[in-house]
Structure 1
Amino acid sequence: MARSSQATGQMGVGGAAVSIRNLSKRYNNYNAVVATTIDIESGDFFAIIGPSGSGKSTLLGMIAGYIDPTAGQIVINGRDIVPEPIYRRNIGMVFQNYALFPHLTVAQNVGYPLKIRGVSSAEIAKRVGESLAMVRLDAFASRMPSELSGGQQQRVALARASIYKPSILLMDEPLGALDKNLRDEMQEEIKRFQQEMGVTVVYVTHDQQEAAFLADRIAIMRDGAMTQIGSPRQLYEQPNSRFVAEFLGEASIFPVKSASSKGDGQLQLIVLEDGTQVAIRSELDAGPGSFACIRPERATIGPKARSLRNAYTGTVRESLYTPGSIRYRVDLSGTGCSLKVRVLPQAAIDFLETGSLVDIGWSDDDMTILTE
């Protein structure tokens, strides 16, 4: 959802709308990015995820201007910026390695983009103060980068990238060098910063949970192409392919052998390849070549499972207690199906050890049909 720049803080600049049209990059016989079309609304936080080599950073590089597209347009606020050099695009960039000047103070690092633009010293000092206050580092202005933690250095990089009030902020794996606790802290910082600034963000990461936490919409790339674009919830609950379902979180996925309608709206009775019969409610037709998908938190273990439309008995093959959840792998009795299950500790009657016999089940609308 686009955010109004009126809701932003003192430094709020409002974000630009970005329209990418048939953008591609080819290296000899290799298509790094195939013809790609995306519309990003003003003020959106748009994340791009995918496996290594999927084209994420290449796409970001073309927007930034340090990679020349083979074909296509990048239209920002109605203007195609492909012919324009980097310094005229009004785009901020935050990298994984911070790229701070080690011989300059925090204030000098942040003010550097304004200095090379010929802004007056008084105006630089004023805007440096505003930028550092925005990232809560105004007390660190005279320190050197080597005197800062990794998270503080990344906040300096964020302040520097935004000081000249770009309409778009590009971030390429900005938290990749931080440990988990710092990553979690910086995710909060980036989300707060973006909402206060109102700037449009295009964010590349390999971390699915990070993207889901930060982004309004996520694009998943594979082999240089966009496989699906949507909100984190849409991608998780309504993946359009087996690849998306497996890439964005855990899932149990089973090939479908056959299916028949029961005449109850969208209810279908499907037979999995191992012969297991399952009731599923979906707008998509199941059949040979399709897959049935269920997320681990949608399965129910214990006596309540007996009342569900799909009810089975099973054997716990793996059990793992982790912070915040208990994870199981359960083999359904008399079938070849093995389900991943995740429950909250307080929802579990007892911790089920490996080898335990359990009741397990799910509703007919807990499964999703994948067509590829």
Structure 2
Amino acid sequence: MVLKYAIVHEWLTPKATGGSELVVREILRHIDAELYALIDFESTNPESYLYQRSIGTTFLQHFPFARKGVQKYLPFLPLAIEQLDLRGYDVILSSSHTVAKGVITTPQQLHICYCHAPMRFAWDLTFDYLGSSTMGRGIQGILTRYLLHRLRQWDVLSANRVDYFIANSKHTATRIWRCYRRRSEVIYPPVNIERFTFQEKKEDFYLTVSRLVSYKKVSLIVKAFNELGRPLVVIGTGPELKKLRELARPNVQVMGPQPDAVVEQYMAGAKAFVYGACEDFGIALVEAQACGTPVIAYGAGGATETVRDIREYPDTGTGLFFWAQSELALVEAVKTFEAEEGNFNPEMARSQAAKFGPTIFEKRYLAFVSSAYRRFKSREAL
């Protein structure tokens, strides 16, 4: 029997190029599946690997300005994802960080969700989003809080539609348990380490690459380096770009968005890669290590699973952590890094990054899907 697979992702647009999209791309390399999303503007993009592919979408596809992101239509996302008719498939593979796991299936269909995170704006980042947006104040704020309350209820309800969860890190597995009381298998996402050039000799600058939004804590990094006076390069775009350029002193260069080739060049040449956010996985941290570049990161979330602190692992360390999201903690971490700089071996960083390569993801993911289907069918036969 040849199984029919469907993959469901949140949105497919030219600006959606993060870790979750890389997971979808890797799954499609190995599983012959039909693809569905809330919106799709990649199948008409000649530069996309999805160009001219048939992709199922929802009514949001036709909403004004949907191409720039459907987040503005947040109240409609649960309703929209539930309109996808997937009855013709044996196995549903959702790639979810917002609502993709909420598709409706039948008892005869196996649903496996690769969860990048429970929707962060509705759970642990609720107050960050409310505090940084005008939607969090006044009458609007009351309505927004009610909307988030209803989203949390739907989010928990829709988790019951999933037969098996896969988490992209132990940190995410903990969040899945906390939000949904569901256990999950940890399978780290694929990182294309071959894309990055290993460079042993480093230049005299620090680097951060990130979306420039408040929870990424890039302003914290800029302020710390303003104080340190060390050269820092900031690459990325987002609503905080203008603010960061105004904040930066002459030793801090805020470059804004850059092509992949430029990012790869700076990643390989940096003295260290600096990161201040608590990430569910943190693909950029692995990419930096693939270049042989050590990492200075906030010691929480997925970073603790991908970076080895040289103070704990003197022979195989690939970076070091700071334990508070504060300028003082980061300043002290940079000074500690510079004292330890000669002890870092770039080869160790490259070896650490290799643990998260696509081949490892392929083997673990395909084995899990196969095992889950056998368990599902055996229960069905009881």
* TM-score, normalised via structure 1 length: 0.27
* TM-score, normalised via structure 2 length: 0.27
Greater per-residue strand proportion? 1
Q: Which has the larger radius of gyration?
A: 1
